[in-house]
Amino acid sequence: MFSSKLTSAWHSLDRAQTRDLQGKKLHRYLRDCVLPFSKHYQEVFRKAGLTAADIRTVEDLAKIPFTSKEDLLPTPEKPRKSLEFVLVPDPKVLARRPSTIWRALTRGKARVKEELDREWRPIFMTATTGRSTESVAFLYTQHDIAHLGLGSGRLADMGGRTREDRMLNMFPFAPHLAFWYMYYAGIDRNIFCLSTGGGKVMGTEGNLRAIQKIRPQVITGMPTFIYHVLSEAVNEGLRLEGIDTVLLGGEKVADGTRLKLADLCAQLGSPKVEVIATYGFTEAKLAWGECPFPVDGTSPGYHLFPDLGIFEVIDPETGAVLPDGVGGEIVYTPLEQRGTVVMRYRTGDQIEHGLTYEPCPCCGKSMPRLMGRISRVSDFRSLRFQKIKGTIMDFNELEHALDDLKGIGSWQIELRKANDDPHELDEIHLHVTRAGEVVEKEIEANLVTMLHSHFEVRPNTITFETPEKMRELQKVGVALKEQKVIDNRPGAAALPKNPSADRAKLQETKA
């Protein structure tokens, strides 16, 4: 009863009701699914001296040790370590359950056997991109795929989509969550959706032809790739009328990016466009979207699905759960998954203003929401511009600043070592394309001023590239994610050895 109420009223419960129902569902999920069938969490709970009976509320989650990406990575002793996170049911255990016996008596053994097989047998996978660590596969059963459609269908509902709409999915074709999430959005809500596979499959011209042919109301993809496609359409003098929503995923979305994409759509004949960001990660097998809002307004946050998972925001240094409205690291626990399951997963993502349970100011619905900018811990990089000390730079903020700067279209940051010598100082080289009527000298002056005043660095070079050259530099249509920050330093680690310590050092420097 509590599960059906949480699912049917997921967008209309207050904080106390939501967390009460989540705690009950969490207990049952651990008792019936995770602990009986997960090799990894059986050992975790044994070492912690816990059972499912100890976890009955959302607050009880704090008793469970965190899981991180490193826990899933292969080791010489366990080359297939991630498989220990897959729920592998014992048929004898399932057969003895009263629910199974009742279903067999009322529906027949053969039908129940098929239903259990569809619920528990992995038949599909996505994988992490492997940019900072080795790629990790996440397995799905038919049960998971149904919830993939449920979550993506809710995104379509938030945008007011109907069966009469048409969508163009320009995410790159790969075992990558974003592509399949948009694919199943169309399937679940019975909406026409053409999935082009992005630039690698059809190229910029192929995607432009697809937009012209199907005349979609919704286009979705990586922000950088959509920018390149729309810019090319403007350069060719095309008319792409009828677009009302640009749905973005896979990269951070700055306010400047929204305005640039909206301006391009207006030039193409679609002046009333909502530019919406999504947040998702492979380990959750889900993604969540912002409630639609005016392109020049303030985001109301990412609408979460409390019946499918629990979000916590923790202090990244201590692991303590933080109060509502306080920024910190995002931690996720599923409530419905089969296949690969990770509990209390530390995402490494920082949410600026934490969680809120207040009604959304745009749609009025009540559900948990993540508020503010989301950034990656791994985007704090250690650079050395002086002989005497290093500098910790927050590339999350730098990317937002570049996206927001007037006159810049696309851009790429290239990190090098002076003279390509591993022992020399670090250098920052900027590659940019010009957008609008701002002249290059003014853009260059604005760039130098912004970098010096906000980040206390000066670029070694600023190079204005043609759109064609920038597509080549960013590997548009070649790489799974367009390359906006490139580290070409020989012998230098791209990421800091201790992101938490570097972040704290950065805060001290700012103070």
CATH number at residue 457: 3.30.300.30
Pair (295, 207) in one structural domain = yes
Give the integer Cα–Cα distance in Å for 17 and 15. Answer: 6
Any residues with CB less than 8 A from the CB of 399 and at least 6 apart, and which? Answer: 252, 254, 379, 484, 485
Domain that holds residue 462: 378-510
Q: Say whether both 292 and 166 belong to one domain.
A: yes
Q: What are phi and psi of 420, to 5 degrees?
A: 55, 30
Q: Is residue 221 part of a domain?
A: yes
Query: What residue has token string 């009540």?
Result: 366
DSSP string, 246-292: EEE-SS---HHHHHHHHHHHHHTT--S-EEEEEEEEGGGTEEEEBPP
Residue that terminates a domain, selected from 299, 327, 345 = 299
> What pLDDT, on a 0 to 100 scale, did the predictor assign at position 250?
87
Residues 154 and 287 in one domain: yes
384 with 292, same domain? no
- Dist CA 175 CA 189 (whole Å): 22
> What residues are paired with 311 via a beta bridge?
332
Is 163 inside a domain boundary? yes
The CATH number of whichever domain residue 292 belongs to comes to 3.40.50.12780
Establish if 273 belongs to a structural domain: yes
Q: How far apart are CA 234 and CA 237, in angstroms?
A: 5
Q: Are residues 292 and 431 in the same domain?
A: no
* Domains of the chain: total: 2
Tens-binned pLDDT, residue by residue, of the chain (511 aa):
445 889 999 999 999 999 999 999 999 999 999 999 999 999 999 999 999 999 999 999 999 999 999 999 999 999 999 999 999 999 889 988 998 999 888 889 899 999 999 999 999 999 987 655 678 999 999 999 999 999 999 999 998 999 999 999 999 999 999 999 999 999 999 999 999 999 889 989 999 999 999 999 999 999 999 999 999 999 999 999 999 999 999 888 988 999 999 999 999 999 999 999 999 999 999 999 999 999 989 999 999 999 999 999 999 999 999 999 999 999 999 999 999 999 999 999 999 999 999 999 999 999 999 999 998 766 655 565 554 456 667 788 888 889 888 889 999 999 998 888 887 888 899 999 998 888 999 999 999 999 888 888 889 999 999 988 998 999 887 777 788 888 888 864 443 334 444 444 444 444 4
Establish if 490 belongs to a structural domain: yes
Q: Does residue 294 sit in the same domain as residue 197?
A: yes
Domain assignment of residue 279, yes or no: yes
Indicate if 295 and 388 belong to the same structural domain.
no
Examine the fold and report which residue of 299, 323, 348 is the final residue of a domain before the chain moves on: 299
Out of 299, 331, 360, pick the residue that ends a domain: 299
Question: Do both 145 and 286 map to the same domain?
Answer: yes
Residues 286 and 404 in one domain: no
Residue 30 lies in a domain: no
Position 386 scores a pLDDT of 55
Using only C-alpha atoms, the chain has a radius of gyration, in whole angstroms, of 24
> How distant, in Å, are the alpha carbons of 291, 333, 361, 373 from that of 365?
10, 23, 8, 21
pTM of the model: 0.87
Residue 282 within any structural domain of the chain? yes
Residue 195 placed within a domain: yes
Within 335-460, strands assigned E span 345-351, 355-356, 369-370, 374-376, 380-383, 391-394, 408-417, 426-434
Same domain, 411 and 501: yes
Taking the C-alpha atoms of residue 105 and residue 113, their distance in angstroms, rounded to an integer, is 12
